[in-house]
Amino acid sequence: MDIHEYQAKEILAGFGVPVPRGGLAYSPEQAGYRARELGGEAWVVKAQIHSGGRGAAGGVKLCRTDEEVRAYAATLFGRDLVTKQTDARGKSVHRVWVETASEIRQELYLGLVLDRKTEQIMIVASAHGGMEIEDLAEEDPDSLRRMLIDPAVGLAEFQARELAFSLGLTGGQVAQMVSVLQACYRAYRDLDAMMVEINPLVLTGTGELVALDAKMSFDTNALYRRPDVAALRDPSQEDPREATAADNGLAYVGLDGDIGCIINGAGLAMATMDMIKLSGGEPANFLDIGGGASPERVCQAFRTVLSDANVRVILVNIFAGINRCDWIANGVVQAYREVGMTLPVVVRLAGTNVKEGQDILRKSGLPILTTDTLEEAAEVAVAHRKTPIAA
């Protein structure tokens, strides 16, 4: 789960990371008021969306009067901001963050992510901030510093100092960086984060380190024990289909194709999408229905897939272990009747109670297309994309 910049800053500030003073606004007038409330001679107005690259897309601006703040904010509200990290539809702006401008002497990059190979938290840092990490890795790979943190020990001070020195920091700046690194590590560890990124972490004209931008992502599977973090979710920044699926306990990712997929197991889902593409089609989604799927859960999966207007055929591919094919078959029949299906449905079942499941589909009297293999299922689905369902 992603959160907004201002939310990430509030969290990191609570752990001891220095951030500029700022205020949230939900209207142009409130943005102007925030500038007057903060005081000073200049402010930065930032669109709050779940995406990087906002500056290049026109979502960040330095303003020197409160009227300029109000006028610029007015251009952002309700706008679909398209960045290089969004799709063509962009992300809608419903709130802006107004903060005091900082004098920047140097920009640094700092990120904490999970290194799945070593199963440890990795710190990635660079003396050249203000760029996306992908661009840094391509344009100046030698500037990147990487450090692994042993989960049994945590981030040791000597590690933090070593990293600070490698970035060219000296004197009191080293002590500040140690404090920032330890604060970010505690936030990552204590809140079940998947990523903490400060870009840029700036060295100001007075020699202070300040987090000018911040980004955090969290492990969705751990949100049940982090209610304060879960409360930060902004559904307006999510694909409505994915938000609905998450609310119903389904793992769903929307894609651009027209073959809706209902599958159990992430590996089988990936294999199914590969087979669809190999057969000349395009999957409309990734949907893992999970283990122990009841008929009601299968029915909800159908509704989720059908919420995508681009879907022209539905492919159900189940290899039942924890699941049972008869449960899945009952769910398919129930969904078919409840939603008033008008699209072709292709079903491939294998595993536990497969014969019982196939009997249920056959005796239903519904025009459901059944196959024995994944290859055949994909080919049938591709062939029936533009074929209306039999009467």
Nearest CA among 292, 307, 385, 377 for reference residue 339: 307
Neighbours of 373 (CB within 10 A): 11
Task: List binding-site positions.
Answer: 46, 53-55, 99, 102, 107, 199, 213, 264
What is the bridge-based pairing of β-strands 313-320 and 345-351? parallel
Question: How far is the C-alpha of 66 from the C-alpha of 35, rounded, in Å?
Answer: 6
13: amino acid identity, one letter: A
Binding site, annotated residues for Mg(2+): 199, 213
3-state secondary structure of 388: coil
Amino acid of residue 135: D
For the question of residue 197 being annotated catalytic, the response is yes
Q: Is 33 a catalytic residue?
A: no
Q: Is the peptide bond before 235 cis (omega within 30 degrees of 0)?
A: no
190 and 170 Cβ atoms separated by less than 8 Å: no
Annotated catalytic residue within 109, 185, 188, 252: 109
Q: Are the C-beta atoms of residues 45 and 29 closer than 8 Å to each other?
A: no
Q: Could you tell me where the beta strands, DSSP code E, fall in the chain? A: 22-25, 43-47, 60-63, 80-81, 91-92, 96-100, 104-115, 120-126, 144-149, 193-204, 209-211, 215-218, 251-254, 259-263, 285-288, 313-320, 345-351, 369-371
Task: Name the active-site residue from 72, 185, 197, 252.
Answer: 197
Yes or no: say if 332 and 370 are a contact pair by the CB < 8 Å rule.
no
Three-class SS of residue 115? strand
In the annotated binding site for substrate, the residues are 264
Q: Which residues are catalytic?
A: 109, 197
